[in-house]
Chains A and B, each alone.
Chain A
């Protein structure tokens, strides 16, 4: 499903926290339907980069253009709109709402996007193999299951771009593999563009391309 059409252009992004240079003049381009990993040691700026792409963090300088719209020039209102409609987020900590069931957690995302549709939410949970457990609360689910719920939540509004920050960080190999299978399915069948930050070579091996960050600099690139 890869195409030669850039969905995301990152140009000269620099982010400075006090006297920490978290990102230093990072530029790259991602095509629609691509699956890209971002690797690098701890503190190299992966989380900061994903935060800037999703508009949660404002860069000190540089530009991010998503589907032709300049994210870095948007106000909060426009940002939250584009985040709701175009971007799905998955984190290492699953960030599920503890007093809502799996199904309700997914429906919450629908609510913030537009309106809820239970059938559709059930369908997505089905797709990631959690249909049996959808009425369970997060505390009653295993780590891998919780992460799958958070993926369901991220994809229920069919984002163009899925941003995942160490999605398998807390999971064992079996569960990590499972998550990767889901990503693969999303990427191949629905054409979702994926950017996944990780320091796990196994996880990176699923992607088309890997960007390597070192001390906030883009130091290399690997193509599978």
Chain B
């Protein structure tokens, strides 16, 4: 099934629910709106941290580290929410408040579709047969800490807090999200690219028109760029950097006009205070850009952890088959081989999957140009379109999965028929 549909559907449901909650509560009482906001903040923190937790426990991280991460996470999110709430108290909600909520919902919704499988990790962790509500403990600590600090800040440095425009902490949250959740950037970038692609593709399918003849390979390659992991991240970061810079520029060069009843020294005081306010807000530019830069650097370093070996050339045996020793390929990472059959150069992959079974597949799929696959933690991914293929599904046909090849194992060898290998390769790479 088209992977975007369930995400969109759940996004839609969550967005509707959240907006209902938010906008109905604005009509009740200011206080209940605040409660609703804080509840949402709490849930949001829960969701994020749950996701994070699930990721890290899967990756074998230690529970105390996860706890700290979770705490920090809630701290960040509840803290900013609380700060914003305190800073805007006694004021009508402005467009920026609404934007904040929209942001919360969008990310909330985008994530919840990914999160549902991790939900069982959320509330409890089973340690030595004891269920520990670690999530709640961490949430209470992080949330409590952040609310306390926000309260202290707004009391102690009240004059400073009043001078900070809520848009700037908001930008900072964005930047932190970029820094701490690289998957979000990726997700946003790729979801948009994929929606663009799918709308077009499915429209063509619906109209019974083949889209390839009138969209040349070049066009698909350009669209394909957006699907790429690196490009997606760059686009998202670049767009954010531009947004941040524009926001700062607009704020800084906005001409503020002092109230008419002020004149002389009082007017000058007003102008000076305004100038200080602007300078104070400009300070946010520094962490925002540091965060973007750090996030990109982090991504660059992380992406170097991709395993992308050169294919090992093998020869066709006299009986027209390829023999690969089992003992050389059982370490759980992919092994690429290349073989020339009738002057056709074929690349294929041998992999022992986490479930213990073996797979032999082409280093190409039915959809994309045959740029092949590389391995990341828990998955192969297509170097052309960036789609991750979970290791256990390698060997299943369809979509951007690598095309499976028939094989059998005997006497410690993986044996593949050469003729069949050639035909499969030619069939799946034809015209690309």
- Residues of chain A touching chain B, judged by Cβ–Cβ distance below 8 Å, are 85, 110, 113-117, 120, 156-158
Q: Which residue of chain A has its CB nearest to the CB of B270?
A: A114
Q: How far is the CA of A218 from the CA of B150 in the complex (A)?
A: 51
B264 touches A120 (CB 8 A): yes
Least Cβ–Cβ distance between A203 and chain B, in angstroms: 27
Q: List 15 A-B contacts (CB under 8 A).
A: A85-B269, A110-B265, A114-B265, A114-B268, A114-B271, A115-B268, A115-B271, A115-B272, A115-B275, A116-B268, A117-B268, A120-B265, A120-B268, A158-B264, A158-B265
Q: Which chain B residues border A113 with CB–CB below 8 Å?
A: 265, 268-269, 272
Q: Which residue of chain A has its CB nearest to the CB of B269?
A: A114
Q: How far is the CA of A156 from the CA of B265 in the complex (A)?
A: 7
B272 touches A157 (CB 8 A): no
Q: How far is the CA of A117 from the CA of B269 in the complex (A)?
A: 11
B interface, over-half SS: helix
Least Cβ–Cβ distance between A114 and chain B, in angstroms: 3
Q: How far is the CA of A85 from the CA of B272 in the complex (A)?
A: 13
A114 touches B272 (CB 8 A): yes
Most chain A C-beta atoms within 10 Å of own C-beta, residue among B264, B266, B267: B264
- Residues of chain B touching chain A, judged by Cβ–Cβ distance below 8 Å, are 264-269, 271-273, 275
Q: Which residue of chain B has its CB nearest to the CB of A117?
A: B268
Q: Which residue of chain B has its CB nearest to the CB of A158?
A: B265
Most chain B C-beta atoms within 10 Å of own C-beta, residue among A115, A156, A157: A115
Q: Which chain A residues border B265 with CB–CB below 8 Å?
A: 110, 113-114, 120, 156-158
Least Cβ–Cβ distance between A96 and chain B, in angstroms: 20
Closest 4 pairs between A and B when the two form their complex, measured CB to CB: A114-B272, A114-B268, A157-B265, A114-B269
Least Cβ–Cβ distance between A198 and chain B, in angstroms: 27
Q: How far is the CA of A85 from the CA of B275 in the complex (A)?
A: 17
Q: Which residue of chain B has its CB nearest to the CB of A85?
A: B269
Q: Which residue of chain A has its CB nearest to the CB of B266?
A: A158
Q: Which chain A residues border B272 with CB–CB below 8 Å?
A: 113-115
Least Cβ–Cβ distance between B279 and chain A, in angstroms: 13
Least Cβ–Cβ distance between A106 and chain B, in angstroms: 12
Q: Which chain B residues border A115 with CB–CB below 8 Å?
A: 268, 271-272, 275
Q: Which chain B residues border A85 with CB–CB below 8 Å?
A: 269
Q: How far is the CA of A116 from the CA of B268 in the complex (A)?
A: 8
CB < 8 Å A-B pair total? 29
Q: Which residue of chain A has its CB nearest to the CB of B267?
A: A117
Least Cβ–Cβ distance between A194 and chain B, in angstroms: 18
Q: Which residue of chain A has its CB nearest to the CB of B271?
A: A115
Q: How far is the CA of A114 from the CA of B265 in the complex (A)?
A: 8
Q: Which residue of chain A has its CB nearest to the CB of B263?
A: A120
Q: Which residue of chain A has its CB nearest to the CB of B274?
A: A115
Q: How far is the CA of A113 from the CA of B268 in the complex (A)?
A: 8
Q: Which residue of chain A has its CB nearest to the CB of B273?
A: A114
Q: Which chain A residues border B273 with CB–CB below 8 Å?
A: 114
Most chain B C-beta atoms within 10 Å of own C-beta, residue among A85, A114, A117: A114
Q: Which chain A residues border B268 with CB–CB below 8 Å?
A: 110, 113-117, 120, 157
Q: How far is the CA of A157 from the CA of B275 in the complex (A)?
A: 18
Q: How far is the CA of A85 from the CA of B268 in the complex (A)?
A: 11
Q: Which chain B residues border A110 with CB–CB below 8 Å?
A: 265, 268
Q: Which residue of chain B has its CB nearest to the CB of A124?
A: B264
Q: Which chain B residues border A120 with CB–CB below 8 Å?
A: 264-265, 268
Q: How far is the CA of A113 from the CA of B266 in the complex (A)?
A: 10
Q: How far is the CA of A114 from the CA of B267 in the complex (A)?
A: 9
Q: Which chain A residues border B267 with CB–CB below 8 Å?
A: 117
Extra contacts, 18 of them, besides A110-B265, A110-B268, A157-B265 (Cβ < 8 A), are A85-B269, A113-B269, A113-B272, A114-B265, A114-B268, A114-B272, A115-B268, A115-B275, A116-B268, A117-B267, A117-B268, A120-B264, A120-B265, A156-B265, A157-B268, A158-B264, A158-B265, A158-B266
Q: Which chain B residues border A158 with CB–CB below 8 Å?
A: 264-266
Q: How far is the CA of A158 from the CA of B264 in the complex (A)?
A: 8
Q: How far is the CA of A116 from the CA of B273 in the complex (A)?
A: 13
Q: Which chain A residues border B266 with CB–CB below 8 Å?
A: 158
Most chain A C-beta atoms within 10 Å of own C-beta, residue among B265, B268, B273: B265
Least Cβ–Cβ distance between A113 and chain B, in angstroms: 6
Q: Which chain B residues border A116 with CB–CB below 8 Å?
A: 268
Least Cβ–Cβ distance between A224 and chain B, in angstroms: 30
Q: Which residue of chain B has its CB nearest to the CB of A116?
A: B268
Q: How far is the CA of A120 from the CA of B271 in the complex (A)?
A: 14
Q: How far is the CA of A115 from the CA of B275 in the complex (A)?
A: 9
Q: How far is the CA of A113 from the CA of B271 in the complex (A)?
A: 11
Q: How far is the CA of A113 from the CA of B265 in the complex (A)?
A: 8
Q: How far is the CA of A224 from the CA of B267 in the complex (A)?
A: 37
Q: Which residue of chain A has its CB nearest to the CB of B275?
A: A115
Least Cβ–Cβ distance between A122 and chain B, in angstroms: 13
Q: How far is the CA of A56 from the CA of B226 in the complex (A)?
A: 66
Q: Which residue of chain A has its CB nearest to the CB of B276?
A: A114
Q: Which chain A residues border B264 with CB–CB below 8 Å?
A: 120, 158
Q: How far is the CA of A112 from the CA of B299 in the complex (A)?
A: 47
Q: Which residue of chain B has its CB nearest to the CB of A109?
A: B265
Least Cβ–Cβ distance between B275 and chain A, in angstroms: 7
Q: How far is the CA of A117 from the CA of B267 in the complex (A)?
A: 10
Q: How far is the CA of A116 from the CA of B269 in the complex (A)?
A: 10
Q: How far is the CA of A12 from the CA of B362 in the complex (A)?
A: 96
Least Cβ–Cβ distance between A69 and chain B, in angstroms: 16
Q: Which chain B residues border A156 with CB–CB below 8 Å?
A: 265
Q: How far is the CA of A8 from the CA of B339 in the complex (A)?
A: 98
Least Cβ–Cβ distance between B271 and chain A, in angstroms: 5
Least Cβ–Cβ distance between A161 and chain B, in angstroms: 14
Q: How far is the CA of A167 from the CA of B273 in the complex (A)?
A: 33
Q: Which residue of chain B has its CB nearest to the CB of A156?
A: B265
Q: How far is the CA of A116 from the CA of B275 in the complex (A)?
A: 13
Q: How far is the CA of A198 from the CA of B166 in the complex (A)?
A: 54
Least Cβ–Cβ distance between A123 and chain B, in angstroms: 9
Q: How far is the CA of A52 from the CA of B265 in the complex (A)?
A: 25
Least Cβ–Cβ distance between B218 and chain A, in angstroms: 57
Q: How far is the CA of A115 from the CA of B267 in the complex (A)?
A: 9
Q: How far is the CA of A5 from the CA of B321 in the complex (A)?
A: 108
